[in-house]
Structure 1
């Protein structure tokens, strides 16, 4: 059910595009670009249609449906009458991401959606990180089965698998964990992520992924020009990144931009310290080993994850280099998330640690059959 007023479509002029996770980074990026097209009505699905983020989307003319990707019925309803779709799935490390992908594909087939962009990923043989690749394989099987069942008259949806990179935002904070420490005078910044100091990592601004998806949905012929099809009918694969930098270069870029209009005596300093993987190994949650496996893959040089950022930016100008992302939002994001190592912060960390342990216990019992 659409929360608020549904937007009527004008015959021959208006189309409806569905965007997963409109209140998040990727979905929000797609919506911001799609709303510039006057002939496009945007619809999204959110677990809480009364949240401030959802209400803001409605005020901008976005159709909002309340529901969860884990549930087939609201997903099918959300895609009803949609011509295009930007699909993305989210991992809670509870084994349900695959079901979300299945529900999306089933709804795409049932509602005859003609063009789909899926925020997926290449197979790198790392548990947890291959979820997206497994969903892509599932979609290929489901589409093949539908083609066989429906016969020659069925028009198969065009599907673009979009493979992105490490989020620039994740160097600053991730899932409530702040990764930049600052002294009391806010003159010295310490960045700490589980990545080697001088290892080059493909990176991207989170909402840039959605903007690339929106560009493909808005003009597929232009966006897919010179893109090789994968060995499946009407399917393409595009790898994107805005930049490829080391953690130290990330810090250096921040300092250079932060100090550009400061006198010598007012300049701030900074450093990078690799965060130990031992912290994640000790976390009492089912997803901990998946996190460790992901960063160990990065430590090996992230094989199979090659990107050409300059070529990507030429093809999709909305992709931003680290410097541009830092100017647009990174500097402000760092200031908003940088924390002081105070007694209060340590109490917050202790409380967060307790919550993580309780969450781990709940997950082991309810999702993985522990204690039964």
Structure 2
């Protein structure tokens, strides 16, 4: 029997990395073993992975030797950074540079890098339509990842660039989902212009897609894969919710500036992000061809399927 190849998974205790772990372990052919990278192998989430037979190793993105050691001896890797752990684009760029150098030093044969578009490619900072954040960015958690793509290329790491999208999970009732207003009607309120389509995806499908890319060998090395499960307008998201929940759900669009002024944590960032979705909806959705994606992952979920499977998330506030 051939020895299993091994895939290292960064962020294995989080939503994206956890989805990759699930996809690898669910493979009926059991072609790959998993090495889970985590800052704290003693955490409950890390211990739960170990209980599933996953090799768990310590790796801190602020400690490059630990990342090199964690990536040594693996055939492939899924790499992701968590901007929201600190909120700094400059720090995220440092982490991405560490990952790229470590992947090169350890000789990983194929990296799937979870990334996003650099919005500055379409929207120069000089454009007055949105405020510049952190001195250099329109949407820091997009732009830092997009800028960091070049680190993998410069280091000579065989890489697939997986451009993700807004998560369906963000439309849960506990997040940005529909809320019941004073008149009793469920209302989905987003800073998305009427008629503009927004790409979104089940976060678990990031894992399934990354695994499919790694399992395909060299086919996707050097390529960018734009990921989404659906492209819908705000009214269409509300219509699906209405069908699934069995009661009317209306959509209300709010202005980008109002979103930026809301005072909620990260409001500037989210206002800019939604404006990017709206102003460049054709480019963003066009970079995510649903037909081609479903050839990579036949079970890629659309929003209706995800909503039907997650009614509890849509109703629990």
TM normalised by structure 1 equals 0.71
Aligned to 2:155: 142
- 2:134 is aligned to none
Match of 2:307 in 1: 326
SS of corresponding position for 1:271: strand
Residues 74-113 of structure 1 aligned to structure 2 (within 5 Å):
74-92=66-84, 93-94=87-88, 95-113=90-108
CA distance in 1, matches of 2:195, 2:41: 43
Q: 1:252 to 1:117 in 2, by over 3 A?
A: same
> Quick check: 1:204 aligned with 2:184?
no
SS in 2 for 1:296: helix
SS of aligned partner of 1:195:
coil
Q: Which runs of 5+ in 2 are unaligned?
A: 124-136
- Distance in 1 (CA, whole Å) between partners of 2:40 and 2:190 is 31
SS in 2 for 1:81: coil
Residue among 217, 232, 236 paired with 2:223: 236
Q: For residues 273 and 119 of structure 1, do their structure 2 counterparts lie closer, same or farther at Cα, with a shift above 3 Å needed?
A: same
Question: Per-residue deviation at 1:166?
Answer: 1.8
Kindly state the Cα deviation for residue 209 of structure 1 after the two structures are TM-superposed. 1.1
Deviation of 1:183 after TM superposition, in Å, equals 6.5
Give the TM-score normalised by the residue count of structure 2: 0.82
Q: Which aligned segments of 4 or more residues in structure 1 are displaced greater than 4 angstroms? A: none
Distance 1:177 1:168, change over 3 A: closer
Residues 323 and 288 from structure 1, CA distance in 2 versus in 1: closer, same or farther, beyond 3 angstroms? closer
Conservation of the 8 A alpha-carbon contact between 2:242 and 2:249: yes
Question: Which of 191, 195, 203 does residue 192 from structure 2 map onto?
Answer: 195
For 1:26, the equivalent position in structure 2 comes to: 16
Aligned residues: 291
The CA deviation at 1:46 is 2.3
Q: Deviations over 1:143-171 (max 9, x none)?
A: 2xxxxxxxxxxxxx431111122211223
The CA deviation at 1:317 is 1.1
The structure number with the bigger radius of gyration is: 1
Corresponding residue number in structure 2 for 1:40: 32
Where does the alignment leave 5 or more consecutive residues of structure 1 unmatched? 1-9, 144-156, 228-233, 260-267, 339-372
1:64-83 equivalences under 5 Å are: 64-83=56-75
Kept in 1, the 8 Å contact 2:197–2:231? The answer is yes
Aligned residue in 2 for 1:133: 146
Give the C-alpha shift of residue 320 in structure 1: 0.9
Q: Is 1:213 equivalent to 2:210 in the alignment?
A: yes
Deviation (angstroms), 1:109: 0.9
> 1:109-136 CA distances to partner (integer Å, 9 max, x unpaired)?
1111111111122333162122121111
In the alignment, the residues of structure 2 paired with residue 77 and residue 20 of structure 1 have an alpha-carbon distance, to the nearest angstrom, of 13
> Which residue pairs with 2:270 in the alignment?
291
Q: Any conservation in 2 of the 1:18–1:86 contact (CA below 8 Å)?
A: yes
Where 2:281 maps in the other structure, the secondary structure is: coil
Question: Secondary structure of the equivalent of 1:130?
Answer: helix
Kept in 2, the 8 Å contact 1:136–1:161? The answer is: yes
Separation in structure 2 between the aligned mates of residue 271 and residue 322 of structure 1, nearest angstrom: 16
Structure 1 residues 101 and 314: alpha-carbon distance in aligned structure 2, compared to 1, 3 A threshold: same
Report the CA distance between 1:85 and its aligned residue: 0.2
**What's the RMSD between the two structures over aligned residues?**
2.6
Distance 1:313 1:30, change over 3 A: same
Distance in structure 2 (CA, Å) of the matches to 1:74 and 1:189: 48
Which residue of the partner structure matches residue 122 of structure 1?
117
Q: How has the CA–CA distance of structure 1 residues 282 and 321 changed in structure 2, closer, same or farther, with 3 Å as cutoff? A: closer
Which residue number in structure 1 is paired with residue 164 of structure 2? 164
